[in-house]
Amino acid sequence: MGKPTGFIEYLREPPVDRSPRERIADWAEFHHHMDEKRLRQQGARCMDCGVPFCQTGEIISGAAAGCPINNLIPEWNDLVYRGLWREALGRLHRTNNFPEFTGRVCPAPCEGSCVLGINAPPVTIKNIENTIIDRGWEEGWVLPEPPKNRTGKKVVVIGSGPAGLAAAAQLNRAGHAVTVLERDDRPGGLLMYGIPNMKLDKREIVERRIRLMEEEGIKFICNANVGDNVEAMLLLKDFDATVICTGATQPRDLPVEGRGLKGIHFAMDYLTASTRALLAGAPDASPIHARNKDVIVIGGGDTGTDCVGTAMRQSCRTLTQLEIMAKPPADRAEDNPWPEWPRVYRMDYGQEEAAAQFGADPRGYLTTVTRFVGDAQGQVREIVTVDVGWRRNAQGQMTPVEVAGSEKTRPAQLVLLAMGFLGPEQALLKEMSVGVDARSNIAAAEGEYSTSIKGVFAAGDCRRGQSLVVWAIREGRAVARAVDTYLIGSSDLP
């Protein structure tokens, strides 16, 4: 490394965000950039650690440990320290097609497995990654790179989320003619409608990358819903290979009394409606709006946080976020050692904003909803909750048990269900007669990605289940290698 003692000389310094009170007044991204001197110092904190666990990308105790796409993190940290930004961008693009996406929305499992993090705050890997790519765009270093030769093979990718985009980019790089079908009115999938604008700007970031991919020769067709207005079986005849990257978009419901009341929505329906309205230039015209309402978000995770941040920008009256799990500890527990993802208490941007506005973290832990109560018009008016404790059942599994006498009624005119996803929507899979596994995901072995139908492949959340954007990119790149090998017998794709 350029500065072997950097991790001793410099403290971890994360980027400064705009103040919560300021940023809830608009939909702009909330991170500030750091000046170059301080960024180079942060790069200097990267250790000559011998075994860089930050780039391993393993699953340990059910969570990612290290970078799933095996980013060459120590290399570009060192290049940033030495001021070699263009070279750093080259190393970054070796493993990641879309660092401007991961640099904004990835929870950074790389930092959780940073060797320095064993006994000190880890390197600010995510911020350095984001700054490298942003500088690359600003300096004009990110340019379209169409393939020099075409193979004459045609591939269709169904779905334009992170897995579909990564697969399309890599297959196009190999020289195949790639068409991407998207059922929504804009390409991007989860990146466009599932993540709010203040976290990932649509026009400046997502659409910019889509335009570059189009310049490289990839064709995007929107409003193309395979199995509805696009005949699935025709795709098998018209293309040499088909890649399904439709995500895991079937939400987990909460089937308790009163679920059919108006004002109770799945989180993705809410986030999508809000982003559509924003892109149309009328954010207050969203059909699902939090203005002057008591909002309850049920479920934690990134999607729950995004609902909190969106409701804050829509001027909700109050906001409560309920989680059935216990509050995490402030520091790693003994059963959560490095290099596992640290399951510790942290305030994300949405909770910071709610705390600044209402005086406290909006989250309530060990709580579940038992019923919804409505008014005479069938609109949800309040929810009834109980506290829970976790106990082992006869099979040894941890299950929630209600605490007697803990029932509580809370006002609510907007309830958002952010409890995760069950798997891919089944209509397309049935239309194509694609085999599924016990969890209803597409059955396709990792490394091969081929489905039960010859020439049809699957990658991303529709294959592995709900996961991170960075895992989707990894799967998209991997399925591209598999398809390339299927089409021409071998593959030089990274």
Write down which residue in 139, 166, 199 finishes a domain: 139
Q: Is residue 146 part of a domain?
A: no
Instruction: Please give the residue range of the domain that contains residue 271.
Output: 253-419
pTM of the model: 0.96
What pLDDT is recorded for position 33?
Answer: 87
CA distance 283 to 312: 13
Is residue 107 in some structural domain? yes
Q: Each residue of 246-282: pLDDT tens digit?
A: 999 999 999 999 999 999 999 999 999 999 999 999 9
Among 295, 287, 275, 308, CA closest to 190: 275
Q: Residue 39's closest CA among 115, 130, 140, 139? A: 130
Question: Which of 111, 139, 167 is where one domain is finished?
Answer: 139
Predicted confidence at residue 226, as pLDDT, reads 95
Do 406 and 429 lie in one domain? The reply is no
What CATH number did the domain enclosing 391 receive? 3.50.50.60
Residue 78 sits in the same domain as residue 45: yes
Q: Which residues pair with 158 in a beta bridge?
A: 181, 244
pLDDT digits (tens, 9 = 90+) for 367-400: 999 999 999 999 999 999 999 999 999 999 999 9
3-state secondary structure of 441: coil
Q: How far apart are CA 386 and CA 451, in angstroms?
A: 44
Inside any domain, residue 427: yes
Helices and strands (DSSP H and E) totals, the chain: 17, 18
Summarised one tens digit per residue, pLDDT across range 306-321 is: 999 999 999 999 999 9
Residues 224, 368: one domain? no
Cβ(6)–Cβ(45) under 8 Å?
yes
Question: 1 pLDDT exceeds 70?
Answer: no
Same domain, 42 and 134: yes
Same-domain check for residues 227 and 270:
no
Give, in order, the Cα–Cα distances in Å from 94 to each of 127, 143, 191, 223, 494: 18, 15, 21, 32, 8
In this structure, are 230 and 266 located in the same domain? no
Per-residue pLDDT for 2 more than 80? Answer: no
pLDDT of res. 20: 97
178: which residues sit within 8 A by CB, 6+ positions away?
154, 155, 156, 157, 168, 171, 172, 217, 218, 219
Q: What's the confidence (pLDDT) of residue 48?
A: 85
pLDDT for residue 32 is more than 90: no
Structure tokens at 197: 């604008």
Count of CA atoms in the C-beta half-sphere (13 A) of 51: 5
Tell me the C-alpha distance between 126 and 111, whole Å. 8
Do 241 and 291 share a domain, yes or no?
no
For residues 442-462, average pLDDT: 97
Residue 475 DSSP SS3:
helix
Q: Are residues 279 and 307 in the same domain?
A: yes
Distance, CA of 261 to CA of 271 (rounded, Å) = 19
Q: Residue 375: inside a domain, yes or no?
A: yes
Q: Are residues 124 and 213 in the same domain?
A: no
Closest CA to 80 of 62, 99, 63, 106: 99
Our CA dihedral for 289, 295, 298, 301, rounded to 10 degrees, sits at 70
Residue 494 lies in a domain: no
Nearest alpha carbon to residue 131 among 83, 182, 180: 83
Residue 154 has pLDDT above 70, yes or no: yes
CATH number, domain at 92? 1.10.1060.10
Whether 149 maps to a domain, the answer reads: no
Is residue 213 domain-shared with residue 225, that is, in the same domain? Answer: yes
Average pLDDT over residues 184-200: 97
The reply to whether 278 and 391 lie within a common domain is: yes
Pair 408, 264 in one domain = yes
pLDDT of res. 244? 98
- Average pLDDT score over the chain: 96
Mean of pLDDT values over 225-240: 93
Q: In whole angstroms, what is the distance from residue 384 CA to residue 460 CA?
A: 37
Q: What is the mean pLDDT of residues 395-412?
A: 96
Full 3-state SS string of 114-136: CHHHHCCCCCCHHHHHHHHHHHH
Q: What is the pLDDT of residues 51-75, one digit of tens each?
A: 999 999 999 999 999 999 999 999 9
Inside any domain, residue 224:
yes
Q: Examine the fold and report which residue of 403, 419, 435 is the final residue of a domain before the chain moves on.
A: 419
In a domain, 148, yes or no: no
Give percent of the chain with pLDDT exceeding 70: 100
Provide the domain count of the chain.
3
